[in-house]
Structure 1
Amino acid sequence: MLLQSSTRTSTPDAVLRIDGLSVQIAGARILTDISFTVPAGQRTGLIGENGSGKSTLLHAVHGSLPPGATTAGHVDTGTGSRRARVGLLHQQAPFAPTDTIGQALESAVAAERQALAALDKASDPYDADAYAAALDLAEQLDVWETDARISATLAGLGLAHVPGDRPTGELSGGQRARLSLAWLLLNRPDILLLDEPTNHLDDAATAYLVSVLAAWKGPVLFASHDRAFLDATASSLVDLDPAPTQVGAEGGVTRYTGNYSDYLAARRDVLVRWERRYRDEQAELKRMRAGVRDSHRVGHAGAAPRTESRIAKKFYGDRNAKVVSRRVSDSRSRLEKLEEEQVRRPPAPLTFAGLTAAADSVRGPRSASGGPVVVASGITVAGRLAETSLTLNGTEKLLVTGPNGSGKSTLLSVLAGVLVPDSGSLTVTGVRTGYLTQEVTLPDPHDRGAGRTVERTYRDLVGEELADAVPLSTFGLVRQRDVDRPLAQLSTGQQRRVALAVLLADPPEVLLLDEPDNHLSLSLVTALEEAIPGYPGAVVVASHDRWLRRRWTGTRLEL
């Protein structure tokens, strides 16, 4: 998680304004003509397909785009005569692995500690002017509540039990992510930017974050795949997916008021009206183009002149020429205006073809009889997984839930055979397991370097023969325009789509999905969840996602 902010001051009335922002990275256009405003106290959620530019937009606002990125437009993060402090939560922690938890937290509240020290210094010996200034700053920063805020934040994010003298490098990935979030909340930037803040939060931690954001005084702009979190938090939504803009334009955003449930209904209505308008406009354009051609002809073809006199011929010829000229001019003007204002063709949706899209080309998962295929007896992993037993039938759909640190990911790693338990036994009977890890992992057996394309990655990982039988296009996970792009240029969500395609190229009998909603777009997560009940093999899902849990119809295991 990366979070940064500028020198600590207070800007209670900060407003975030984005005006005509366009961003290009490594020759690829990511954002085009983005404009919207986030007032103080408002929480705007960014939504859109993987690769639509949500993370790029957050980095552009923060000022931390990669070297070589080009931008146009304007981002105003100021109020009055100065710029506001902007804090961003992303991938890299703001503390060194050798720092202890206590040291990391102290760096977050350094301004409060300095203000309190300045107040003590001004009081002895007493300097009235210096003391008044120091007291004013201390009151603004509420320095007397700093320790209470630290305790409340650690408790709220499930970190209160972790010793303060523990090096941050020894924390698990989830603990480090939550400590990064704690650091940012304690640092209290004027404008808060969050990229997938709930990826490592359980119910209690998510509820705590919702309560903090509800009381946040400055603008909040966040990208999230968490539908329940969007429902509970967002006061408005900005959709970065294409909207019915003018022909040739691919930028702009569509803003929706209300929560995610409101957005779903409104977005469906927008798409229906867009398709109808495009269809009607194209029919009108066809008619008008034919009309322009017909405007060159006046009267009926082959009709004899009204008189044979030379004078009459000239009279009618001149008049007809003027009529033709006027008609052609009027028709062309109307045609040019409609061509200029027409909406562009609605983009073909990237539709997930399902978990067994490759089954017709390869053997795919066998339809098991329902008997046990995986049996775990008393397995433990020291410090990560308490003693756990389970029996998985060949067609069972199992949801593994539990608070942070309960061992959900550890259990799936053991079931996948990539982690050996410290005790207990695991028996897998005649089935193949496939594992989608929580974070993106795309090992490269040929190490073709940073320029390795998406297509090359897929072929390297599944093998040439299988890639020929099951092309990457089979799954509806990657747009055709992206297959020849370097993998490194794709967003985290797009790379995870590639990892899912690799997993499904030869569907296993036991499918293990660790937090499948992480980094994936809302539409894909929904399609993925809907496909799970029909999978012919067994599926084990580890998730803290409340939306998924409310709709789960299979069996459950609470850790």
Structure 2
Amino acid sequence: MSALVFDAVSFSFTSRPLLDRVSFRVGVGERAFLVGPNGCGKTTLLRLALGELLPDSGAVVWEGMRSDARQPPSAENFTGRVSEYFDEAFAPVRALSARFEQVTAHMAQAAGESSGDVREYDALLAEMTARDVWSLESRIDEVLAGLGLPMLAGEGRDREVVTLSPGQRGRLPLAAMLIARPEALILDEPTNHLDAKGVAFLADTIRAWEGPVLMTSHDRAFIEETATAIYDLDIATWQALATAEGHDLHGVYRTNGAYSAFLEAKQKAHRAHADIHAEQQSEKREIRAHRNAAQSIARGGVRLSEAEGMAKKFFADRAQATSTRRKRSDDRRLEALEEREVRRPRSYNLTFPLAPANHAPGLALSAREAAVHGRLAPLTLDLSRGEHLLVTGGNGAGKTTFLNWIASGAPPEGAGASGSISSDRPVGFVPQRLPRVVDPDFTREVWTEGVGERGAGMLHPSMWHTRIEELSAGNQRRAQLALALAGAPSFLVIDEPTNFLDLATVEALERAFNEWTGTLIIASHDRWLIEHWAGRRLNLAPAPAIGATG
């Protein structure tokens, strides 16, 4: 059976290991996702699978498959037409067809069949059948339409790649991959640049894929819909449980099933880790107390203090022997405990330190026919203090315009705005984009010296004094959240809160949302968040186009 196998793979870009003895297997029909915090090595594992990187030790093996898989060329800076892009992307498949024709012709012309020709013919035929090479051309238009690129079908392939939008260019490599049908499918964040219909098409395609599939994604709904297994690279908790049971764990931990099953398993593991650590520390204190009590035994009791002569030596020797035996027993117990002792659960995970919201009854927000010409259709809305509101809508519906108006207290400058929006102040605000030095909270001092102790609970202490531009995108987002909460606002507005954050951080963020009693408005396209939202909802319709009438 075909499988993609990682066998004790280690890799590093620096002297510090990034991947340590990673072992796992993705078999036929399996759809496995790599999850873990930003920078843990997910994309590196995909590049190792594709042969773009070589492991420092261990091996990546394509069992029962050709190992010549490669990613389609990037379309970002491709010079040429769409048809030429596909010619380059499909070169390995067409080379397969050309070689098959050569072998077939040689067998037909040969006086007798050679065993070498027969073996190669069988191998080529099996691979071509698996990749359905004969329907390659007919699949092109089907996949392009499914991924929202119908304009590139037929004569559309004559378009220059540089004339496409960034989103269209971003979808071209994915389209090429699905059209080419490699034996193993390896995808890094495949839902980027896709709308809902494109994601649905991709999910259907992947569920029907016959070979091994290995992916990364931040789209929790997509993972839920397609995953059969999840490999977690954040193994601290899993390793603690393994240590407590007396064995080692390296690299990754596998859970079977969809994303919800993974979440349940990891939350259960976190609780077990905390319980085991608390029990072990309690046991250690008891053993040490018991051992310390042996000192008083060595001093003897009343009998030793009252004894004289030989009796005194007898009681002293017996007390010392009892004390020594007890210490040795306690030392053995401590050694056995230390062999399975787990580390304290990490205390720097995102805690989202929302201040309690003690607010009087009344309205936190009032909008009256608030509109921005061509960007936000007229909106009237009242939001009570303590309510949570989710704002949804298609691109161009005005979600960001609405949230920016609330945060700044004024409509966008130079826009044709009408109506009014009033709200409680101050408002803690996190924009959709990453921070800039001109943002109110990101002063020159913060930008160069870091967020300081205001990052407690949001950033690891080692990052409190790191320049903002030197932080990863995920940690810059955490810095934005930390500064937005530093003033303990009772009204919080966040545009696309799950952008840039790893899955564990997103889960912690949403748990904090659910528990907070303050006023909250968020805008999001995250399907998992939308499907699990418990508060009020507002779906914005597109604003009329500029100049439209009627």
**Same fold by TM-score greater than 0.5:** yes
Q: State percent identity of aligned pairs.
A: 29
1:46 to 23, 31, 34: 34
Q: Which amino acid aligns with 1:233?
A: T
Q: Which amino acid aligns with 1:149?
A: R
1:543 to 516, 525, 544: 525
The alignment status of 1:79 with 2:63, answered yes or no, reads yes
Cα 1:540–1:251 change in 2 (3 A) is: same
SS in 2 for 1:261: helix
State the partner residue of 1:149: 139
Q: 1:460 Cα deviation (Å)?
A: 8.7
Query: Would you say the 8 A contact 1:529–1:548 is kept in 2?
Result: no
Query: Would you say the 8 A contact 1:45–1:236 is kept in 2?
Result: yes
Q: 1:193 Cα deviation (Å)?
A: 3.2
State the partner residue of 1:167: 160
State the partner residue of 2:262: 263
- Aligned pairs for 1:456-535 (under 5 A) are 461-464=442-445, 473-474=454-455, 476-484=457-465, 491-501=472-482, 511=493, 513-514=495-496, 516-526=497-507, 528=509
Cα 1:519–1:350 change in 2 (3 A) is: same
State the partner residue of 1:15: 4
Query: Would you say the 8 A contact 2:454–2:482 is kept in 1?
Result: no
1:203 to 189, 196, 199: 196
Q: 1:30 Cα deviation (Å)?
A: 4.6
Query: Would you say the 8 A contact 2:228–2:257 is kept in 1?
Result: yes
The alignment status of 1:140 with 2:127, answered yes or no, reads yes
SS in 2 for 1:371: strand
Query: Would you say the 8 A contact 1:15–1:39 is kept in 2?
Result: yes
Q: 1:468 Cα deviation (Å)?
A: 11
Cα 1:532–1:180 change in 2 (3 A) is: farther
* Alpha-carbon RMSD: 4.7
SS in 2 for 1:199: coil
Q: 1:103 Cα deviation (Å)?
A: 2.2
SS in 2 for 1:164: helix
Query: Would you say the 8 A contact 2:454–2:486 is kept in 1?
Result: no
Q: Which amino acid aligns with 1:143?
A: V
Which range moves more in the overlay, 202-211 or 518-527?
518-527
State the partner residue of 1:557: 540
Cα 1:425–1:161 change in 2 (3 A) is: farther
How many residue pairs match? The answer is 502
2:176 to 157, 169, 183: 183
Query: Would you say the 8 A contact 1:51–1:494 is kept in 2?
Result: no
Cα 1:279–1:303 change in 2 (3 A) is: same
Q: 1:286 Cα deviation (Å)?
A: 0.9
State the partner residue of 1:232: 225
State the partner residue of 1:303: 303
State the distance in 2 between where 1:71 and 1:428 align. Answer: 61
Q: 1:127 Cα deviation (Å)?
A: 3.8
Decide which structure has greater helix share. Answer: 2
Query: Would you say the 8 A contact 1:462–1:505 is kept in 2?
Result: no
Cα 1:510–1:332 change in 2 (3 A) is: closer
Output one character per residue of 1:464-521: Cα deviation in whole Å (capped at 9) or x when no partner: 489999856357432223334566775543343335556666889894624x433323
Query: Would you say the 8 A contact 2:437–2:443 is kept in 1?
Result: no
Q: 1:284 Cα deviation (Å)?
A: 0.8
Q: Which amino acid aligns with 2:288?
A: R
State the distance in 1 between where 2:302 and 2:37 align. Answer: 59
2:392 to 397, 400, 425: 400
State the distance in 1 between where 2:356 and 2:43 align. Answer: 31
Higher relative contact order (CA 8 A, sep 6+): 1
State the partner residue of 2:546: none
1:375 to 367, 371, 376: 371
State the distance in 2 between where 1:484 and 1:250 align. Answer: 33
Cα 1:443–1:171 change in 2 (3 A) is: farther
Unmatched runs of 5 consecutive residues or more in structure 1: 1-11, 361-365, 380-387, 446-457
State the distance in 2 between where 1:397 and 1:555 align. Answer: 7
- Aligned pairs for 1:218-367 (under 5 A) are 218-241=211-234, 242-243=236-237, 244-245=240-241, 246=243, 252-296=251-295, 297-298=297-298, 300-304=300-304, 308-310=308-310, 321-348=320-347, 350-353=349-352
Query: Would you say the 8 A contact 2:372–2:418 is kept in 1?
Result: yes
Cα 1:172–1:222 change in 2 (3 A) is: same
Output one character per residue of 1:250-291: Cα deviation in whole Å (capped at 9) or x when no partner: 965443222222223322222222222111111110111222
State the distance in 1 between where 2:428 and 2:288 align. Answer: 59
State the partner residue of 1:363: none
Cα 1:40–1:173 change in 2 (3 A) is: same
State the partner residue of 1:382: none
SS in 2 for 1:97: coil
Q: Which amino acid aligns with 1:260?
A: Y
2:95 to 114, 127, 133: 114
State the distance in 2 between where 1:155 and 1:428 align. Answer: 41
Query: Would you say the 8 A contact 2:291–2:330 is kept in 1?
Result: yes
Q: 1:109 Cα deviation (Å)?
A: 1.6
Query: Would you say the 8 A contact 2:75–2:173 is kept in 1?
Result: yes
Cα 1:527–1:325 change in 2 (3 A) is: closer
Query: Would you say the 8 A contact 2:30–2:211 is kept in 1?
Result: yes
Q: 1:375 Cα deviation (Å)?
A: 0.8
State the partner residue of 2:431: 436
State the distance in 2 between where 1:252 and 1:114 align. Answer: 37
State the partner residue of 1:448: none
State the distance in 1 between where 2:188 and 2:125 align. Answer: 31
Q: Which amino acid aligns with 2:2?
A: D
Output one character per residue of 1:301-330: Cα deviation in whole Å (capped at 9) or x when no partner: 3532796444x5556655555544433322
State the distance in 2 between where 1:63 and 1:460 align. Answer: 44
State the distance in 1 between where 2:464 and 2:316 align. Answer: 60
Query: Would you say the 8 A contact 1:196–1:519 is kept in 2?
Result: no
Q: Which amino acid aligns with 2:393?
A: T
Cα 1:150–1:225 change in 2 (3 A) is: same
Output one character per residue of 1:334-364: Cα deviation in whole Å (capped at 9) or x when no partner: 111212211111112623436x76999xxxx
Q: Which amino acid aligns with 2:366?
A: G
Q: Which amino acid aligns with 1:14?
A: A
User: Normalization by structure 2: what TM-score?
Assistant: 0.73
State the distance in 2 between where 1:108 and 1:39 align. Answer: 25
